């Protein structure tokens, strides 16, 4: 193989056809050209926001065989793998942690492919070429580190074998065990949890018209309403919401059939909503927001309706995003998520490696404890 690595500041420079020749076979909506381009073209993930594209493509005699979504980051916001303590420690010791390189999907804590390989190519060889190019770029730029957030388990293992530091955390995931419908799911729970969920749903739904919209049913007015929910909730929770109104317009235009917008209406006016993306085998819960205070409405829109929709679409799981131990009582069990890290400075690398060894053990112990003591299922 005669490999050439190229660096691109936007996915638009690579083009939809070329990028999706690698991304589309994965079935992952977040590494698709349309999602990444919406992040960039909308002004959500751009240099002035601390997200400077440095996407890598790998060619073999002019033929595209691999790609890596990659960003030059001036901060650690919008990543959901928290390395602020590493940055603080390094900077107290006189180092410069930023900028750094990050392979991830902006603002999206969802496990998925990062080292994209063309169908029929030698995956190990392509991954090796992409990783070598990424580290080489990092060395030329003088960055402190390279981070690969939320890769697949296979990629995580491969990156560990290639010498990167392995980190893990947990998220809560609902999986279909052949329930058939929501009542079948409830039947698998303890009697106390069944009663609690039914009560929560009654209270959340009272007086509201809740609709699941996808495809052409999602109109611009719906995005206007959802953006208002997102800005209000995001502003209170994070201080500064990441995504622009144009981002939602773009995914509404290019990804309508892969979007499920769950809206609650009160007397015909939308008052709350949850945005989901439809993958090949999973429903991915993303942003949510509300302009009203209603007990359990968050659970209804984000968790219970998502389970119903996944069962209706024949999807095997619902991934409801980062954090949230409250998901456990709603049928979402803890599972491991991963990241991998290359750190240039030997001293920082040793300190992080020591920390991660204990952290991995702690995550394993927490998952075991939560499943043992907090599972709502009659048998887990």
What local confidence, expressed as pLDDT, does residue 210 receive?
A: 98
Mean pLDDT of the chain: 96
Please give the C-alpha separations between residue 186 and each of 193, 205, 315, 345, in angstroms, as whole numbers. Answer: 8, 18, 17, 51
For residues 273-292, give the mean pLDDT.
96
pLDDT of 189 over the 60 cut: yes
What local confidence, expressed as pLDDT, does residue 19 receive?
A: 98
**3-state class of 251 per DSSP?**
helix
Instruction: For residues 109 and 171, give the distance between their C-alpha atoms in angstroms, rounded to a whole number.
Output: 9
For residues 240-268, give the mean pLDDT.
96
Instruction: For residues 159 and 187, give the distance between their C-alpha atoms in angstroms, rounded to a whole number.
Output: 41
> Is residue 111 very low, low, confident or very high in pLDDT (cuts 50, 70, 90)?
very high
pLDDT of 239 over the 70 cut: no
pLDDT digits (tens, 9 = 90+) for 315-372: 999 999 888 899 999 999 999 999 999 999 999 999 999 999 999 999 999 999 999 9
What local confidence, expressed as pLDDT, does residue 156 receive?
A: 98
What local confidence, expressed as pLDDT, does residue 237 receive?
A: 60
- What CATH code would you report for 177-315? 3.40.630.30
- CATH 3.40.630.30 range(s) for the chain read 3-169+337-373, 177-315
* Owner of token pair 């439809």: 278
Q: Could you tell me if 315 and 281 are in contact, meaning their C-beta atoms sit under 8 angstroms apart? A: yes
Instruction: For residues 129 and 144, give the distance between their C-alpha atoms in angstroms, rounded to a whole number.
Output: 21
> Is residue 238 very low, low, confident or very high in pLDDT (cuts 50, 70, 90)?
low
Give the homologous superfamily in CATH for domain 3-169+337-373: Gcn5-related N-acetyltransferase (GNAT) (3.40.630.30)
What local confidence, expressed as pLDDT, does residue 254 receive?
A: 98
**Partners of 189 in beta bridges:** 377
DSSP codes, 287-324: EEEESS--TTHHHIIIIIHHHHHHHHHT-SEEE--S--
* DSSP strand pairing (116-117 vs 209-214): unpaired
């Amino acid at each position: 193989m005669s490999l050439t690595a190229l660096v691109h500041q936007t996915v638009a420079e690579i083009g939809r056809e070329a990028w999706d020749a690698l991304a589309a076979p994965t079935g992952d909506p977040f590494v698709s050209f349309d999602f990444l381009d919406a992040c960039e073209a909308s002004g959500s993930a751009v240099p002035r926001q601390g997200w400077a594209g440095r996407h890598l493509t790998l060619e073999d005699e002019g033929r595209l065989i691999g790609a890596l979504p990659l960003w030059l980051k001036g901060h650690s916001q919008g990543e959901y793998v928290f390395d602020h303590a590493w940055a603080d420690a390094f900077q107290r010791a006189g180092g410069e942690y930023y900028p750094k390189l990050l392979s991830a999907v902006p603002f999206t804590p969802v496990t998925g492919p990062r080292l994209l390989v063309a169908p029929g190519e030698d995956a190990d060889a392509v991954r090796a070429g992409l990783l070598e190019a990424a580290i080489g770029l990092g060395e030329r730029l003088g960055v402190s580190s390279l981070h690969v957030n939320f890769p697949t388990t296979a990629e995580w293992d491969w990156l560990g074998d290639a010498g990167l530091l392995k980190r893990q955390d947990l998220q809560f995931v609902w999986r279909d065990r052949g329930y058939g419908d929501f009542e079948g799911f409830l039947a698998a729970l303890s009697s106390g949890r069944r009663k609690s969920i039914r009560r929560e749903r009654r209270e959340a739904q009272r007086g509201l018209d809740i609709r699941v919209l996808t495809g052409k049913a999602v109109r611009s007015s719906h995005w206007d309403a959802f953006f208002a929910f997102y800005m209000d909730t995001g502003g209170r929770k994070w201080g500064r919401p990441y995504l622009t109104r144009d981002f939602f317009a773009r995914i509404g235009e290019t990804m309508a059939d892969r979007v499920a917008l769950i809206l609650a209406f009160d007397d015909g006016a939308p008052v709350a909503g949850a945005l989901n993306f439809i993958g090949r085998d999973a429903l991915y819960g993303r942003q949510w927001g509300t302009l009203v205070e209603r007990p359990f409405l968050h659970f209804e829109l984000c968790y219970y309706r998502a389970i119903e929709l996944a069962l209706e679409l024949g999807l095997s799981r619902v991934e409801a995003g980062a954090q949230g131990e409250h998901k456990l009582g709603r049928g979402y069990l803890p599972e491991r998520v991963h990241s991998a890290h290359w750190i240039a400075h030997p001293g920082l690398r040793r300190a992080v490696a020591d920390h991660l060894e204990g952290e991995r053990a702690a995550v394993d112990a927490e998952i075991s404890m939560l499943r043992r003591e907090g599972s709502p299922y009659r048998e887990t």
